[in-house]
Structure 1
């Protein structure tokens, strides 16, 4: 009896028989066996790569038999030692690696689950299977026990007689490349997803979601690719790096040390960045590094793929991609309103702009589905050992020049932006067009996607670091017609926080900065009949409260000039509510906005639409110059301000504002409190 196949199953069996596996068979075995997926899929692909249901059943029984008789669980290591000794020879499934011992001029094999550190192995086997020296392979291993084997006075009785790798020990990716032509682009994307265990036809899997899921594979095909995904739990952020490849390592939060990551100071042995294709930091919202000096080394490595370490003998290079996965516990709108999209990261790096600027790709994890059983495929896909080898082979290719054939990049993209965009496009071509056959339409789609993912990084840097990162208006130019197209972010659309309609009496907006932290602030003044009390709420910062109080005292001291008799402060109690709309650390410098809010409330005058106000008014009435002028104007402009009133003393800094700000926002100046009110109030 044959199982029911769809057209894509038929194509896969026709083009890749022996290298594909029915993915639900893996899930069936995975529940009962604590075995790596790629081991299971290797065994299943060899026994069950068919459409015949009876043959699949027999194949599964054979796989179960092999596992029960030969797979070694770590807790059984002593028992296995005994079985090898008592039998003289025994077949096992384990991960075997080899190191050279130059003092004894011999190779030693190490078996992971068996906990055998020094097993004898022949030079011939080592030369036949080079990966034994590159981290090891999973294999069906013929073991022998020989108590006569000695080195000096020590007995080393365990002998590796033969190896049948479960991972492909020799690999040719020509079939992967050549047979790609037999699939359409959409079919091939579905093959990639099914090979990753995901059913592309499941409810909720949109075309955009397919692109996001496939992009998780980019760090495995692109060398030195720095990738971050922050999103809700149960979206499969780490699955690719834990289960789909033996060439990635996952490091738990806080466990990364300099020797483990980079280089051992005593032995000079290169760490994970030189041994793996991808180093993944799981739970990156926890502490990342155990050693404080790992951060500067990681910055160097993420920038150039190399690092220098005292005593390590000069510069050391690696090709591992760096991946950060973390959880976000709030809606993205809330995070954007209160801080920035790197804020969930560990405190070591979440405000370190130099570190964060080295990230090439920010995947919006909040768009991912929480996976349910229906989202896992029951169809055929590449077996994991074959798929992982295909991905690894693509690392040797380079399509970073693909953009240049059709497009150029806009002026806001600096070198540190251009590199990530080109690497992202290259990675997507390697995955979706491994044969290098792509069109201008394909490249355009990948380019827009890449610009979005890098711009997400840059927009958050702008929130943290201000004007240094202001150039975020990413675009590309079509070389055929010179048309420039700008790329926006889904989460930034409609984010204007300052009303474009006339502001109600008592409402004003300003921006503050303590030199590092920017804040967008809403001031609301309310009046009730009373005896001249001032109430301040929404802020605990002593300097800000003093700022507000000084503004109130200025009005009080100049009542005869500023207020009519019936509007005297003696007749009111005034409440000032301070609300931080963006950022977290409000600072001083809000006096002019407070003054405008109070005066407009007293006289019941609307303020101009989209109005922002900068500057401070001292108790004596002096208008104080704004510090971080350009950053503050830019922040107000970006969040909807059409007019930003600023002190005359900042006039010579107008030239520091980006053209995009001046194009969207007028910047009139004032030199005293009367002029401030004249330019703020909406004329009837």
Structure 2
């Protein structure tokens, strides 16, 4: 019994003949080692229906075609015999071609049929150049002619014609028009079902769905470079192996200069010129056969072209994907090394190579797939789906984000290029009609910044200060607000975030004799009439600190704030959160002071900032009690900078050297110095 959901019905209404029930592939495939796009090519012609009888009939038809024409390797002798008896026979198989320079001719090799050195015409090879690069799946018309000889040897097999298993024509305007009939969520779901996944099944939440969408970007963006490291059985290579005839999977260590770039003997362009995507599987072992492939690959990844030995520039549009397994928990890798370390030794310390990677997908977040994660619903047949993806490679939305956002100062040219291309990829996938909103762009921009920042953070670990600028941010053109984008794995177990702090957020530590507390202060400044509200603490001492700081600001606002930012025009809400320790006590005035000003001016504070000390109602900076304990507590929980009153300067020698090694401890003597040292960019 077929149970259709609303999206199935919609897909059939608008794309009948081009959608297929995705679980049929598994049912028919059984033990046959035939790619999904071959089966779906056959299924879409007969099984794009919800009518159960027609579906059964279509499946029987496909089974018959496969039974009669698809060759399993163990049947190779039988098929050769059939060819000899009948003289001519159609088979479904993978065919590749090699040049025999001694005899100046091409030979076809037919994979499962185990036919070596079949005669094939030059014209057929010219029409299907991918035959020379790993081969293609096709419906092949074979002939048997014992009269074909070369010297004294008989080569009786002949390839008469080839029909590649992919659509012969495709009209992209249909996709643009039909996209308007679907909501964004429906379209995303349909794309993911087309790739074989069942969105929102167990373990596949919004975050993971966006990561799965990232796997499709190299298929819609030309010359896009991506790395994915993750556990085994999480489908890293599935997309490039099963759902498109336009990608090629190269096993680790197999990439040669002739295969990838150019054959210097024949002048024939390699894989980069003939495929949309080249996926290096198991790139943790070895990438290339020849050492000299690496400089060529660097050249190609940067510009989409490379220079060949005999002169002249050759260009290609293939995207490059490096996949590999990561065998340790990410936290462990980050403690001892960097996230590129599992890659092949040829490249894992080569910053020039790694900097060319546009997107680093955290495959460790994508869990191993269970049967429930694969869809049983309708999705685009893979040949149609691959044409949708291919057709998008000609367009670009490189400048789409400029309408709403500006990129922050830490994004250098390669970062900006990568972020723009990821955003463009998401628009092509989810808005092929070019209709999108500001919030759509914001969503894609945040993902894009994370995926490129992951590359930059690892480069910083390898190459040091050359790659120091990793605090990626974007500025909303409408509000001028700057928003920083962090990484899941960089947060680690630290309570204090290592990114620039949002306006109004600051950390401090308080001490009550033997016990210390780690405190987060959050201030929200709303247009209002000068009220102040404190939540999160019942301590009279803390409330007194806050009141004194507020009154000091109020009394000196002309010199500290300006007229447009007078406290009388804001309602100030202050939230005190105890992140660790017994309870919050006094000594938090300086941190509150910084938080209020940054909230009013919408200014970010420095990454991982904490402030010790108190400001009296008269503006005097009071010494921090239990100085060494507090700095140690803050440092061990992620503080990168702890601002300390000048009065504590004589105690600097009481700090452990391990703390001084990882946390900056600058001193301030007055509220003006405090402000200068706390605000980002000051």
Q: Output the TM-score relative to the length of structure 2.
A: 0.70
Task: Give runs of aligned pairs for residues 81-96 of structure 1, distance below 5 A.
Answer: 81-96=80-95
Counterpart for residue 607 of structure 1: 628
Deviation at 1:348, TM superposition (A): 2.2
Q: Counterparts of 1:457 and 1:129 in 2: how far apart (Å)?
A: 37
Counterpart for residue 270 of structure 1: 269
Deviation at 1:307, TM superposition (A): 2.0
Q: Counterparts of 1:287 and 1:136 in 2: how far apart (Å)?
A: 23
Deviations 1:528-556 (A, max 9, x none): xxxxxxxxxxxxxxxxxxxxxxxxxxxxx
Deviations 1:86-139 (A, max 9, x none): 11222211234679999999987664443253435596x789889778876533
Deviation at 1:255, TM superposition (A): 2.4
Counterpart for residue 571 of structure 1: none
Deviation at 1:214, TM superposition (A): 1.0
Counterpart for residue 396 of structure 2: 398
Task: Give runs of aligned pairs for residues 89-168 of structure 1, distance below 5 A.
Answer: 89-96=88-95, 111-114=110-113, 115-120=115-120, 137-147=136-146, 157-168=156-167
Counterpart for residue 63 of structure 2: 64
Q: Secondary structure at the match of 1:447?
A: helix
Task: Give runs of aligned pairs for residues 273-422 of structure 1, distance below 5 A.
Answer: 273-311=272-310, 313-422=311-420
What is the aligned counterpart of 1:432 among 430, 433, 442?
430
Counterpart for residue 46 of structure 2: 47
**Residues 120, 158 of structure 1: 8 Å contact kept:** no
Deviation at 1:424, TM superposition (A): 0.4
Counterpart for residue 235 of structure 2: 236
Q: Secondary structure at the match of 2:388?
A: helix
Q: Secondary structure at the match of 2:20?
A: strand
Change beyond 3 A, Cα 1:153–1:334:
closer
Aligned residue-pair number? 528
Counterpart for residue 251 of structure 1: 250
Task: Give runs of aligned pairs for residues 220-235 of structure 1, distance below 5 A.
Answer: 220-235=219-234
Q: Secondary structure at the match of 2:469?
A: coil
Q: Secondary structure at the match of 1:139?
A: strand
Deviation at 1:186, TM superposition (A): 0.2
Q: Secondary structure at the match of 2:180?
A: helix
- Tell which deviates more after alignment, 159-168 or 269-278: 159-168
Q: Counterparts of 1:137 and 1:34 in 2: how far apart (Å)?
A: 14
Q: Does 1:444 align with 2:442?
A: yes
Q: Secondary structure at the match of 1:642?
A: strand
Deviation at 1:472, TM superposition (A): 0.9
Change beyond 3 A, Cα 1:164–1:277:
closer
Change beyond 3 A, Cα 1:353–1:100:
closer
Deviation at 1:202, TM superposition (A): 0.8
What is the aligned counterpart of 1:454 among 452, 455, 458?
452
Counterpart for residue 642 of structure 1: 642
Q: Secondary structure at the match of 2:470?
A: coil
Deviations 1:285-338 (A, max 9, x none): 222223223222222221111222434x33222211111112222222222222
Deviation at 1:177, TM superposition (A): 2.7
Deviation at 1:380, TM superposition (A): 0.6
Deviations 1:609-662 (A, max 9, x none): 4369xxxxxxxxxxxxxxxxxxxxxx9998634269xxxxxxxxxxxxxxxx9x
Q: Counterparts of 2:153 and 2:71 in 1: how far apart (Å)?
A: 26
Q: Counterparts of 1:287 and 1:490 in 2: how far apart (Å)?
A: 29
**Residues 131, 169 of structure 1: 8 Å contact kept:** no
**Residues 109, 121 of structure 1: 8 Å contact kept:** no
Deviations 1:3-62 (A, max 9, x none): 221111111111111111111111112222121111111111122111122222222222
Change beyond 3 A, Cα 1:345–1:100:
closer
Q: Counterparts of 1:273 and 1:130 in 2: how far apart (Å)?
A: 12
Over aligned residue pairs, what C-alpha RMSD do you find? 3.5
Q: Secondary structure at the match of 2:411?
A: coil
- Tell which deviates more after alignment, 489-498 or 318-327: 489-498
Deviation at 1:485, TM superposition (A): 1.4
Deviation at 1:448, TM superposition (A): 1.0
Deviation at 1:163, TM superposition (A): 4.6
- Tell which deviates more after alignment, 389-398 or 476-485: 476-485
Q: Which runs of 5+ in 1 are unaligned?
A: 506-604, 613-634, 645-660, 670-684
Q: Counterparts of 1:134 and 1:252 in 2: how far apart (Å)?
A: 14
**Residues 502, 607 of structure 1: 8 Å contact kept:** no
**Residues 411, 472 of structure 2: 8 Å contact kept:** yes
Change beyond 3 A, Cα 1:353–1:166:
closer
Deviation at 1:403, TM superposition (A): 1.3
Counterpart for residue 183 of structure 2: 184
Q: Counterparts of 1:409 and 1:70 in 2: how far apart (Å)?
A: 56
Q: Counterparts of 2:75 and 2:342 in 1: how far apart (Å)?
A: 41
- Tell which deviates more after alignment, 101-110 or 457-466: 101-110
Counterpart for residue 522 of structure 1: none
Q: Counterparts of 1:397 and 1:155 in 2: how far apart (Å)?
A: 50
Deviations 1:397-432 (A, max 9, x none): 111111122211111100010110011011111111
Deviation at 1:175, TM superposition (A): 2.3
**Residues 495, 638 of structure 2: 8 Å contact kept:** no
Counterpart for residue 260 of structure 2: 261
Q: Counterparts of 2:62 and 2:406 in 1: how far apart (Å)?
A: 53
Q: Secondary structure at the match of 1:32?
A: coil
